[in-house]
Chains A and B, each alone.
Chain A
Amino acid sequence: MELLSHLSIGFGVAFTPINLLYCLIGCILGTLIGVLPGIGPVATIAMLLPATYALPPVSALIMLAGIYYGAQYGGSTTAILVNLPGESSSVVTCIDGYQMARKGRAGPALAAAGLGSFFAGCVGTLILAAFAPPLTELAFKFGPAEYFALMILGLIGAVVLASGSLLKAIAMIVLGLLLGLVGTDVNSGVARFSFDIPELTDGIGFVTIAMGVFGYGEIISNLAQPEHEREVFTAKVSGLFPTKEDFKNMTPAVLRGTFLGSALGILPGGGALLAAFAAYALEKKVSSKPGEVPFGQGNIRGVAAPESANNAGAQTSFIPLLTLGIPPNAVMALMVGAMTIHNIQPGPQVMTSNPELFWGLIASMWIGNAMLVILNLPLIGMWIKLLTVPYRYLFPAIVLFCAIGVYSTNNNTFDIWMVGIFGVIGYLFVKLGCEPAPLLLGFILGPMMEENLRRALLLSRGDWSVFVTRPLSAGLLGAALLLLVIVLLPSIKNKREEAFVEE
C-alpha cells in the first residue's frame, strides 16, 4: 500500500522524542498567544517564526505545526468564551459557541471544538496522503467563473447564518462586500473610498471590524441592560465534558463538517475559508431532533461542524500548496516562507525530491493536532474559571485587549480610531436588529469576488452567459438558487398560516 508506506516515512521522520518536544512547546506557546483576543494564528506564527530558524527543517516545521494548531484552538477558545473572533473561521464558532458559554456550557463547547478538530485533522491527513495527486486535477477545472459561482453559493449559504430577516442578511452581506472593496484596487491602482487617508488605501483590517462590531458592540449592548436583567453568563457551569446526548448530536455534525471541509480545502484560493461557513449553513438545514437547542442559541452542532470543517480544510489546503505551489491562505503562506528559509522550494517537486520532508510535514500536522487535544482537554477547566470573573472586571479587560490587539497588527493608532468607529456601528447593528456574521463573510470575500468576476468577464469578452454555459459554474449557481428557495420556503409557509389565522 502506497498510502501506508508514505505515512510510515512521515511518522518515521517526525516521531522522535526531540521533535515531539518541539511540537509540545509550539503547541503551548501557540495556545497561550492565540488565546489573547485579536491575535490570530497568522500573527502568532509570524511572531514565533524567528524562534524556529535555528532548528533543523523538519523540527522547525513540526514546531510551526504545533504553533499553528495551538493558535487556532486558542482563537476558538476566545471566540467561545468572550465572543471575539480572532480570524475569519472563528466568526462562525462565535454564533453558537458563545451562546453555549452563556448558558454555562462552555466546557462541552470547548471539548466539541477540540475533538471535532482532531477527528477532522485525522481524516484530512489520510485524504492528503491518499489522494493528493488525483485531487489536483479537480482544482484545475476551476476557472474564474467557477470561483465566482462558488462564492455566490457561499454567500447565499451565509444568509443561513442569520436567524432574523432574510433581506437584512443579504443587505449585510452586500455591505460587507462593499467594505471589503475599500482600499487600493489591485488592477488599476486607484484608491477607492479611502477619503485620501493613507491608512485606508491598504483597506480596512479584518481584526478591526471583528473587534469593533463583535467586541465593543456586544459590550455596549450588554451594559445597556440593568445589571439584574443582564444575562451574560449563568452562574452555574454544568459539566466540563459533553454529555452522551451531546456526543450523539455532534458526531454526525463532525462527519458532515469534515467531509465538506476536506472537499472545499482542495480549491486553491479561499476554498478552506468558506468551509466553516458552509458547514454551519449545512447544519442549520439538517433538521433538528425534537428538544434540541435551536441554532443561534447554543447548539453544539453549530460549534462542532464549523470547527471540524475548518480543520479538515486546513489539512487538504496543503494539496494546492504542494501541487500547484499556491498558498491557499495567509497561514500557509507563512509556512511557505518558513520552508524557503530552510531552503525548500514548495511545489510539485517536493513530493518526489524530498519525500521525507513532505510526508514528515504531513505527519507533523497530525502530531500537532493530537498534541493539542492532549494538552487542551485538561485545560478546559482552567478556561472555564475565566467565566467566573464578574462582568464588571471582564469588560474593561476585553476593551483593553481589543485596543491592544488592533494596535499591534500595524503599530498604528489609526486602527484604534477605526475600531472605535466600528464599535459604534456594531451597537447600531444591535439596535437595528442586523446580525453581523454575514457582514464579515462578505467583507472577506469582497475583493476575491471582484477579481474573479473581472477575470471571468475579461475571458468571455464581457459575455455574462459564461456563468451558465460552463457546466460547473452553472451547477454551483443552480445550487445557490436552490438554497435560496429552500431558505425562502418556510417564511412563505408561515405567512400563509398567518393569513389563515387572520381570516
Chain B
Amino acid sequence: MNIKSQKDFFSGLMFMGVGVAFAWGATTYNVGEGARMGPGYFPLMLGILMAVLGAAITFKALVVETVGGDKIGKWAWKPLSFIILANLVFGVLLAGLPSIGIPAMGMIVAIYALTFISSMAEEGWKVKNTFILATVLAVGSYLAFVVLLKLQFPVWPFFIG
C-alpha cells in the first residue's frame, strides 16, 4: 500500500505514539471511576482518544489521494541546530550549570554568544555586522531589562560581579 500523504501519515503516527504514551503513563496513576476520578482518568481518556485520532489520520493518509503526495521535504538541519544551540548556549552562559560546575558568565556574554551562533544559521553572515547587532542587543537589553525593569539577571561573569 502506498503512502498517499506523507505529512498526514507521519503526523498520524506521531499522534498515535504520543497518545499511547500518555495513556500508558496515565495507568500508572490511580484511574478511579466516573464519580471519583483519580488523577489518571482524564489523561487516560484523552490519550486513547488521541491514539484513535492518530490511527484515523494515518489510515486516511493511506487511502485518500493527495496532490503530489504531500511530501515532508528535506529537514533544515542547519537552522534547526544553530537556533536551538544558540538558545541552549544562552541558557548555560546566562546562569551557568551548577550541577556540572559551569559558572555563570552573565547576560552580556550570553547575548554575544546567542547572536553569533544564531546568525550562523543563515548563509552569508558577516562578523562585523553580527558584532554590531550583538552590541546593540546587549546594550538595549541591559537598559530595558536590568536598568528599567530591574529584573534579577546575572549580568556580568562570575569573576567580575
Say yes or no: A393 contacts B133, CB within 8 Å: yes
Q: Tally A residues with Cβ within 8 Å of B.
A: 63
Which of B39, B75, B79 touches A223 (beta carbons < 8 Å)?
Answer: B79
Instruction: Give the docked Cα–Cα distance between A402 and B39 (Å).
Output: 33
Instruction: Give the docked Cα–Cα distance between A366 and B39 (Å).
Output: 43
Residues of B within 8 A of A171 (CB): 11, 15, 50, 53-54, 57
The B-contacting residues of A in range 404-463, CB under 8 angstroms, are 404, 407-408, 411, 413, 416-417, 419-420, 423-424, 427-428, 431-434, 449-450, 453-454, 457-458, 460-463
Is the C-beta of B105 less than 8 angstroms from some C-beta in chain A? Answer: no
Is the C-beta of B111 less than 8 angstroms from some C-beta in chain A? Answer: yes
Say yes or no: B83 contacts A47, CB within 8 Å: no
Is the C-beta of B144 less than 8 angstroms from some C-beta in chain A? Answer: yes
Interface of B: prevailing SS: helix
Say yes or no: A403 contacts B145, CB within 8 Å: no
Instruction: Give the docked Cα–Cα distance between A408 and B15 (Å).
Output: 32
Residues of A within 8 A of B158 (CB): none
Contacts A399-B86, A416-B88, A416-B90 given: A220-B49 contact, CB under 8 Å?
A: no
Say yes or no: A192 contacts B137, CB within 8 Å: no
Residues of A within 8 A of B149 (CB): 33, 47
Is the C-beta of B106 less than 8 angstroms from some C-beta in chain A? Answer: no
Contacts A185-B39, A404-B145 given: A168-B47 contact, CB under 8 Å?
A: no
Contacts A220-B80, A453-B42, A462-B35 given: A396-B22 contact, CB under 8 Å?
A: no
Say yes or no: B46 contacts A424, CB within 8 Å: no
Which of A168, A181, A396 touches B42 (beta carbons < 8 Å)?
Answer: A181
Instruction: Give the docked Cα–Cα distance between A424 and B75 (Å).
Output: 11
Residues of B within 8 A of A168 (CB): 8, 11, 57
Residues of B within 8 A of A413 (CB): 91-92, 94-95, 97
Residues of B within 8 A of A177 (CB): 46
Interface band, chain B? 35 or more
The B-contacting residues of A in range 212-230, CB under 8 angstroms, are 216, 219-221, 223-224, 227
CB distance from A198 to the nearest CB of B (A): 13
Most B Cβ at <10 Å: residue of A190, A227, A403, A463: A403
Contacts A171-B15, A427-B80 given: A223-B144 contact, CB under 8 Å?
A: no
Instruction: Give the docked Cα–Cα distance between A396 and B87 (Å).
Output: 10
Instruction: Give the docked Cα–Cα distance between A177 and B7 (Å).
Output: 22
Interface of A: prevailing SS: helix
Residues of A within 8 A of B94 (CB): 407, 413, 416
Residues of B within 8 A of A463 (CB): 34
Residues of A within 8 A of B10 (CB): 432
Say yes or no: A392 contacts B115, CB within 8 Å: no
Which of A47, A396, A454 touches B133 (beta carbons < 8 Å)?
Answer: A396
Residues of B within 8 A of A423 (CB): 83-84, 87
Instruction: Give the docked Cα–Cα distance between A424 and B7 (Å).
Output: 17
Say yes or no: B133 contacts A216, CB within 8 Å: no
Say yes or no: B119 contacts A227, CB within 8 Å: no
Residues of A within 8 A of B72 (CB): 431-432
Instruction: Give the docked Cα–Cα distance between A400 and B101 (Å).
Output: 24
Those 10 A-B pairs whose CB atoms lie nearest each other, nearest first: A224-B76, A462-B35, A462-B34, A416-B91, A223-B79, A185-B39, A432-B11, A171-B53, A433-B7, A450-B42
Besides A423-B87, A461-B35, 10 other CB < 8 A contacts?
A171-B50, A171-B53, A224-B76, A227-B122, A392-B129, A396-B114, A400-B90, A407-B94, A413-B94, A417-B91
- The residues of A with any CB-CB pair to B shorter than 8 Å are 33, 36, 47, 165, 167-168, 170-171, 174-175, 177-178, 181, 185, 187-188, 190, 192-193, 216, 219-221, 223-224, 227, 392-393, 395-397, 399-400, 402-404, 407-408, 411, 413, 416-417, 419-420, 423-424, 427-428, 431-434, 449-450, 453-454, 457-458, 460-464
